[in-house]
Every structure is written in structure tokens, then in C-alpha cells.
Structure 1
Amino acid sequence: MRRALSAFVFLLAAASAGAAPEGPSLARIRSTGVIVAGYRPSSPPFSYLDARLKPIGYTVTLCERVIAALKADLGLPGLETKWVAVTSATRMPMVANGMLDLECGITTNNAERARSQGFSLTIFVAQTRLLSRRADPIRNLDDLRGKPVVSTIGTTSIQYLHEINERQGLELHILAGLDDPESFRTLQAGRALAYMMDDVLLRSLQMQQPNPDEYMISAEPLTVEPYGIGLNREDAAFKLKVDAVLRNLYRSGEIREIYRQWFESPIPPRGVNLQMPMSAAFKKIIDKPTDSADPGRYR
């Protein structure tokens, strides 16, 4: 934290003196003519592949706006975007070791993660819940005492399950899927009675099923999950540019149209409409942008 603060203070001092330090990310982008962005292959509506195997989604759209602004700002109209597939397990190490300039997926900003990577302004606020079969409903964690539950490896959800299992002695049998579709298949196959994950991702998986009403999402939220675009935590100059693009989208109201495109309209490839109006928590973020890792700021 002290190093990041020192870098930020240096940036402000240099700016006031008329200098324009670019930091490692911008310097590398300028020298190579390439910006490297991570995407998730199967996490609609945030980050996934379309029928032509092109990355699309809500977070991808926001990153594309950032990249377009960088092209203009740096005077690099030919700037190439290299899209790199990431998983829940590989995304943060790839940001931390400089392999990615932007991580355009579904990553929760929390205090633990902020020690190894940076985050943009918050771009979405989710809550974790439980997905189960309507014929065998799971409404809360007490319903799962001594029973199998699944979540996805490398996520805050599976970490929370392990922590609360130990704290409350729930004797859960916790299973780990390599990605969200595999975790859902574990529930479908009956190996788990519930799947814990962010509500928007559960909704996306549910609505893609032939009979979505066979599944239900618990009403009681377990945790609050503010998403951000992953960045180099030591590069204050790059974060300022990314955040400036997002602030402009919020201030202009354009973010609402982008949101409607991915959460309230039919999306590729199957034309599924998640029918998820913007939450009060995210509306508050649009009015007063923040990159806080404190869940209490979003309640």
C-alpha cells in the first residue's frame, strides 16, 4: 500500500511540475504497439466468446472503450489488442506479474486481492447466493448442513464457503469446479445440492437452460461483490486513465445503455435476456464512483 501511495504522490507531483510520467503499462503499450487484455471464455454476460470466437460482454465492452480512448490519447490509431483467455485461477497472477494490462472479466475487488493487484473504479455490484433445484430447494446455508455444495475454484465464493464452514461448524462437503459451467454441471448431475456464486452469474446459467424454472436462486444474499477491471497496482498513471474513461461513461449516462445491452436485452449467441434491472447499489456508484474494496460501501 505504501509503495502504491508513493507512486501516486510522485505522479501528482510530476504532473504539477509539467511532466507526464507514463508508468510501466503505458510505456510498454507505446513501445510495443500492443495492449494485452484478459477475458473469460464462458462468463456471460460479462466476458465470453461469441459464435466467431470473439470476446464479447459487458466488461469486454468497457475495456474496448478504454482501449479506444488510449488509442486517441497516445496517438496510436494502429494500437493492437491482444486478447488472452484467463480462468478464475490464472487471472490475478497474470495481472500481478505484468502479463495483462487489463483483466476484463468478473473479478471482485477486496482487501486481500488489492495487496497483489490494482482495480479500476467499480463497474458492477453483485451479491452471492445459492442456486438449487426447485424440487429440492436450498434457501440458506443451514439447509446445507452436512451436505455437498459446489463453487468455482479461485473465487471469493469458495473462499467464503471454507471460512464459514469452519466458523459455524456446518460440516459442508465443498466441491470445486474449474469454471462456472463445470460447477453448474456438478449441481445438474446431483453431486451437489447447491451452487454458491454471484447472483448475476447464477442467473445467467439458469436462463440458458431449456427449463430455467427447474432451478431457483435463494433470496438471502451472503456477501457483497464489487467488480473492477484488474490493473497493475504499481501503475497509478494507467489507473488514472482507465478510471477517467469509466467516469466519463458514468457522467454522460452512456453506462446505462451499455448496461441495458447486456442485462436487459437478448444477448448472443442464444438471445437470452437476463431481465436484471440495474441495482440501487450500482446506481449509487454511477452517481458517486468509487474503487473501494469495502463491501459496506455498497450496501
Structure 2
Amino acid sequence: MFKKIFSFGLSLSIFSAMTPWAWAGDIMEQIQETGVIRAGYRSDTVPFAFVDDDGKPVGYAIELLELIREETETRLGKPVELEFIEITPNNRFEQITDGIIDIECGSTTITWERNNYVDFSASYFASGTQMIVNKGSNWANAQSLAGAKIAVIPNTTNETAIREFAPDAEFIFVESEEEGWKMVQEDKVVGFAGDGILLQALKAQVTDSDSYEIVPEFPYMIESYACTLPQNESEWRNVVNYSLVKYMQGVVVGVPEYQNLYSRWFGVNGVTPYPIETMADYFQGIVNGYEWIRIEGRY
């Protein structure tokens, strides 16, 4: 449905005791010293980042972080590990600005306001704000949403989008996608507003998925996902961008390793099916803004 828009580790036994400000400045020097990338992740954003039955972080964004780890390791010429630190929608930017984590690659949207205090990588995905509602409930137009109870995570682009579209709705703030989804299932709200791709994953997890639908067909607002980074860390941002652009270029030109990575999460048999052709169009637009990278002896 977005086709038209898309077309255009080592142990920290010594270092973990140090206060965040001790590493203020050069992230690459810090990683060189510790052999660790401190990566933030959310445990409830299927298929981007969540925990498996063993409590281990998994997901599309986790695999992208692994690509970034590999590239960092190559450049530094020494082993580098990922240390995962759980974050929430409410503290994810504070964790970056306070120096607790070096990077976060979940389902975070680029905004001009956020750019005042964090930096962003190249965008590696796009989605849009939609709502999950009971099927046939006719909550897809602004008139019907007046006075309706809508769950949304506060201080997110989803809140901004749904408030713009339905200013007369009653908003119920929740802390996570799972909480908002549960309120819909229990009929405590008429809908939960969130990123469409995340809503699809929530819907796919229940046996009565046909009882729910995601509306409207075209999102209230399109949003671009990117990794969040500390400000003014150009060397670190360059490593991250190189890793992400290489991956996206690989999807575009048909490198099996990268296409398989995408398909594990968004392929026909993936967690949340999403056409690779559509996303490749989006990736093409991002990649064209950078010098192409030689992959497996070809461009």
C-alpha cells in the first residue's frame, strides 16, 4: 500500500563500573577500549526487537545491529561484542543523551524535534500510523472518532498523527504496544494507534486475528525508521550508515545473504509479511544518496 511513496560480549567487569560521562566524546575510541557496543533494544516491538522464550533479544533490528557489530570489528581489527540494554519508549532518547547506550535500532522514527538532541542513521525501514480495531467497527474516518476512546503511547509520532486526524477523540495513554493491544481485545478502547507494521505483528499473534482489522488502508502519517545515535559522533555514525546502506544495497541488487535477512522477518513465511519488492524500492531511494559499495566483487 506504500508502493507510490516508496517508488520515488567482552566482559565489562571494569568498564561497567565507570559513569557514563567518563566516555563522553568518541564512541569509536570507547569501543576500541572496551570491545563492547552498548545497544538499546525494546522487548515488545515484534518483529523489530523482542525477546524469545529464553529471554534473548531477537528481531530484524537485532540482526541489523549484528551487521554493525561486524563492520565495527573489521574496522577496529579486534573482537567486538554487543551488550544489550533494555529501553522503553519513554527513556530511549535519555539513554542516548545520558551516555548509557551507544545506539538503538528499534522502531524509532526520525523527527526534526528529536534531531535537536540525538542524531539518526540512514533510514532502514518505513511504516505509518494506523489503528487496530474490531473488524467492521467503522472507526476509519474522522467523524466517527469524535469522542472515541483510543489507546496510544504518549510522546510518540503516533500520538501526533492520531491527534491531528482525530482531535476530538479521547486518548488513553499506555506504556507499550502490548498494553494498547490488550485494551482493544478487552473492549476498553475502540482502537490502538501505532505503527502499522507493529500492529500487523500483534494481530498475527492471536488465533482470532480475523476479528480485527488495521485502518485506514493508507496511514494517517508515513514514518521513517532509523537508528538513534549520540550527537556529533561522525566516525561512529559513518560506521553505522555504511553497515545499513551495504545491507539495503544488497537487498536491492539481490545478494542472498541480505535478502534472506529481510525475508526471515518480512517474507511470505516471516513474522510479519511485507513485500520485499516494495521495501526494495524504498531502499533504492536511500542507497542512491550514498556512494555504492562493492559487495561480493560487484556493485
- TM bucket, shorter chain: 0.7 to 0.9
1:284 to 274, 281, 295: 281
Map of 2:263 onto structure 1: 260
Cα shift at 1:124: 0.4
**Residue 249 of structure 2 corresponds to residue 251 of structure 1:** yes
Map of 1:240 onto structure 2: 238
Map of 2:200 onto structure 1: 203
Instruction: Judge conservation of contact 1:150–1:176 (CA < 8 Å) in 2.
Output: yes
TM-score, structure 2 as length reference: 0.81
1:60 to 53, 59, 62: 62
Matches of 2:151 and 2:117, distance apart in 1: 26
Matches of 2:41 and 2:55, distance apart in 1: 12
After superposition, the C-alpha distances for 1:132-186 in whole angstroms (9 at most, x for unaligned) are 0014231133321111111123321113334555xxxx42110111010001111
Counterparts of residues 126-275 of structure 1 (less than 5 Å): 126-165=127-166, 170-218=167-215, 219-253=217-251, 254=255, 255-266=258-269, 273-275=271-273
Cα shift at 1:251: 2.2
In the alignment, structure 2 segments of 5+ residues that lack a partner are: 1-24, 290-299
Map of 1:297 onto structure 2: none
Map of 2:116 onto structure 1: 115
In the alignment, structure 1 segments of 5+ residues that lack a partner are: 1-22, 268-272, 293-299
Partner secondary structure for residue 289 of structure 1: helix
Partner secondary structure for residue 174 of structure 1: strand
User: What is the percent sequence identity of the aligned residues?
Assistant: 25
Matches of 2:208 and 2:218, distance apart in 1: 23
After superposition, the C-alpha distances for 1:44-98 in whole angstroms (9 at most, x for unaligned) are 1000001111111111100111001111210122x23210001111111111222
Cα shift at 1:189: 1.6
Matches of 1:68 and 1:265, distance apart in 2: 28
Cα shift at 1:256: 2.9
After superposition, the C-alpha distances for 1:195-235 in whole angstroms (9 at most, x for unaligned) are 11111011000010111000011113100110001111211
Matches of 1:190 and 1:279, distance apart in 2: 36
After superposition, the C-alpha distances for 1:7-58 in whole angstroms (9 at most, x for unaligned) are xxxxxxxxxxxxxxxx611111112222100111111100000111111111
Q: 1:74 to 1:216 in 2, by over 3 A?
A: same
Q: Which amino acid aligns with 1:274?
A: T
Q: Which amino acid aligns with 1:172?
A: A
Cα shift at 1:278: 3.3
TM-score, structure 1 as length reference: 0.81
Instruction: Judge conservation of contact 1:148–1:192 (CA < 8 Å) in 2.
Output: yes
Q: 1:60 to 1:154 in 2, by over 3 A?
A: farther
Q: 1:207 to 1:182 in 2, by over 3 A?
A: same
Cα shift at 1:266: 4.2
Cα shift at 1:283: 2.4
Matches of 1:175 and 1:105, distance apart in 2: 23
Q: 1:291 to 1:47 in 2, by over 3 A?
A: farther
Q: 1:27 to 1:150 in 2, by over 3 A?
A: same
Aligned pair count reads 259
RMSD: 2.0
Matches of 1:213 and 1:285, distance apart in 2: 29
